[in-house]
Amino acid sequence: MVSRFLENLTKKRCLILKGGMLYLFLVFSGCVNRKAQEQAIRTESIVNNKTIPVVVQNVKSSDYVHTKKVTGEFKAEEDTVIVGKVPGKVSQIFAKEGDIVKKGDVLLQLDDSDYRSKVHISEAQLSSAESSLSQAKLNLMNTPLRSSVQLENAKHALKQAKLQYEKLKNGPRDEERNKIKASLEAAKNGYESSEKALQRSRKLYQIGGISLQQIEKQEAEYLNVKQRYISLKETWNILDKGPVQEDLEIAEKQILIAEESVKNAEAVKSMDKSLYNQVKAAEANVKMAKENLVLSKSAWQDTKIVAPFDGYVSMGLPSVGSMVTLGSPVARVTNMDKLYISSEVSLDTGIELKNGMDVDIELSHLEKKRMKGRITSINPISDVHLRLLKLRIDLDTPNIDMKDKNAQEDLKDKEILYPGMTCTGLVHTDSVKNVFIIPKSALVIKEGESYLMMEENGIVKQRKAEIGLSQEDFIQVKNIFSGEKVIVKGNNFVKDGSRVTIEKTL
């Protein structure tokens, strides 16, 4: 027992001697490393079993916002490099780099003489094509009607000619013969009766029995009846004798003439389809002429290089007399009031982010510039090789109003944001109310477990920490309470039961 006590005493004296020598060395060597001096003092206090100076923080509840840090680059919503749509020589310049322009403002003009001539030629071609179409439609409307009537008339004439020939060749049918014979007998009886009646009237007229008018009327009726009888008698004689060869030949010629007329009418009718095709061709020509005119006007219009939106000219324009080729860049216009932040984050960070999360934005080169924004899109397709996700963060307030008449002066403001500037954003991923937050440096790690050194009436009380949210230099602890004091400096030099003095309270 005595030997062990002497051994412990010897070790203690050695520690005291080493601590004292270290303290004297630091003091007399003029060293200005304050942390080393403080550590030496604490070491000496522990060896001498004195109270240890510490810094404590009063525990109090607060609202805590958990954030994720991202970096990004400002980009313009509207930022366009304007290229030449037609080749030509620059004839006029209306803007220069840095100018504020409005949508539709002419930036430069190419020589348009050739393009203007092509427009006039296209207009003349369209007028000619429209005239041809009108005539083709008029022909289509009138010609088919005439040709249809002509064809129907020719067919009817052919039919009548054939019927007449058949009648002459075959003679009338029995029914017709009987009908004509009966008509002839009736006409004969009428003729004979009329002749007798006329003889009696003449005798009466001679004796004054009837007037001259009466006898003249009766004579006229007699002549009509006589003529009808003679006509029917001749018809019957022809029917009775049969057709005359000369009449048949004439009828055959009439059929040939009628057939030729039908062929001619059909040939004219067949041309109706070609008239329809002529209209279609004329319509196609008009359509082509209109398209050529649109292209000509578009090419003419493209000799004017205009601003596609409100913005400022962010690239120098070519000089007068220089040639612009198809697709060559001639100007760049950037809309400064619609900037957003493009950021790339790791997959691990991206998992915690969602659309709509608020973002606090800071710029390292503009210390006073603070902005608010929110995540509006997260590209779900990550870069397979770099394992990155793309974020888009929209700003809550516009950068500069390009429609403002003072926008040109506003661009001189040093705090105006420009595309390409970098920034840092703190994304609000979670928030809790009435929690206890302490510096991470207050934790003492022992065998993989986190502990807090609590000060109670000058005595250290060691407590295992129940950890909550964690972020960079701060951490949430669930099992501490308002009014308690946690050692935040000097905590690594004390243990449960150590005596301490409070140097400073935060």
Query: Which tokens in the block code for residue 119?
Result: 């427009």
**Is 171 inside any structural domain?**
yes
Query: Residue 460 in contact with residue 495, Cβ under 8 Å?
Result: yes
Is residue 134 located within the same domain as residue 41? no
Distances in whole angstroms, Cα of residue 264 to Cα of each of 153, 261, 317: 12, 5, 73
Residue type at 287?
Answer: K
Identify the pLDDT of residue 416: 75
Q: What is the pLDDT of residue 110?
A: 96
- Do 344 and 330 lie in one domain? The reply is no
Bridge partners of residue 438, in order along the sequence: 475
Confirm whether 129 is domain-assigned: yes
Those residues of the chain that have pLDDT short of 50 are 1-32
The CATH number of the domain holding residue 470 is 2.40.30.170
The per-residue pLDDT for 49 is 54
pLDDT in tens, 136-182: 888 777 666 566 777 788 788 888 878 877 776 766 666 777 887 88
Decide if 201 is inside a domain.
yes
Secondary-structure breakdown of the chain: helix, strand, coil percentages, each rounded to the nearest 5 = 45, 30, 25
| Three-class secondary structure of residue 272 per DSSP | helix
Q: What is the pLDDT of residue 478?
A: 92
Together in a domain, 38 and 150: no
Indicate whether 93 and 125 sit together in one domain: no
Range of the structural domain that residue 90 is part of: 78-110+308-334
**Vertex 372, ends 80 and 310: CA angle to 5°?**
25
The reply to whether 7 falls in a domain is: yes
Same domain, 202 and 330: no
Specify if 232 maps to a domain: yes
Do both 252 and 151 map to the same domain? yes
Asked if residue 358 and residue 254 are part of one domain, the reply reads: no
* 454 assigned to some structural domain: yes
The per-residue pLDDT for 241 is 64
Residues 188 and 124 in one domain: yes
Give the CATH number of the domain where residue 83 resides. Answer: 2.40.50.100
State whether 353 and 390 are in the same domain: yes
> What's the pLDDT at 449?
93
Residue 150 exposed, middle or buried by CB count within 10 Å (0-12, 13-18, 19+):
middle
Name every residue whose Cβ is closer than 8 Å to that of residue 435 and which is 6 or more positions away in sequence.
61, 62, 63, 64, 468, 469, 476, 478
Residue at 296 is within a domain: no
Alpha carbon separation from 195 to 4, 200, 329 (Å, rounded): 191, 9, 118
| pLDDT value of position 39 | 62
Which tokens in the block code for residue 26? 């630091």
Question: Which of 52, 64, 90, 79 is CA-nearest to residue 334?
Answer: 79
pTM of the predicted model, to two decimals? 0.51
| Burial of 268 per CB tally in 10 Å (0-12, 13-18, 19+) | middle
Q: Any idea what the Cα angle at residue 323 is, between residues 320 and 326, rounded to 5°?
A: 130
- What local confidence, expressed as pLDDT, does residue 172 receive? 61
Helix (H) or strand (E) holding 284: helix 245-301
**Spatial CB neighbours of 33, under 8 Å, sequence gap ≥ 6:** 26
Q: Does residue 2 sit in the same domain as residue 101?
A: no
Q: What is the pLDDT of residues 287-345, one digit of tens each?
A: 999 999 999 999 999 999 999 998 889 888 899 999 999 999 999 999 888 889 999 99
Closest CA to 486 of 456, 450, 463, 455: 455
pLDDT for res 136: 86
Q: Extract the tokens encoding 257.
A: 């003439």
Total number of domains constituting the chain: 4
The answer on 354 and 241 residing in a single domain is no
Do both 392 and 326 map to the same domain? no
For 317-350, the DSSP string reads: PPPTT-EE-TT-EEEEEE-TTSEEEEEEEEHHHH
Q: Tell me if 288 is assigned to some domain.
A: no
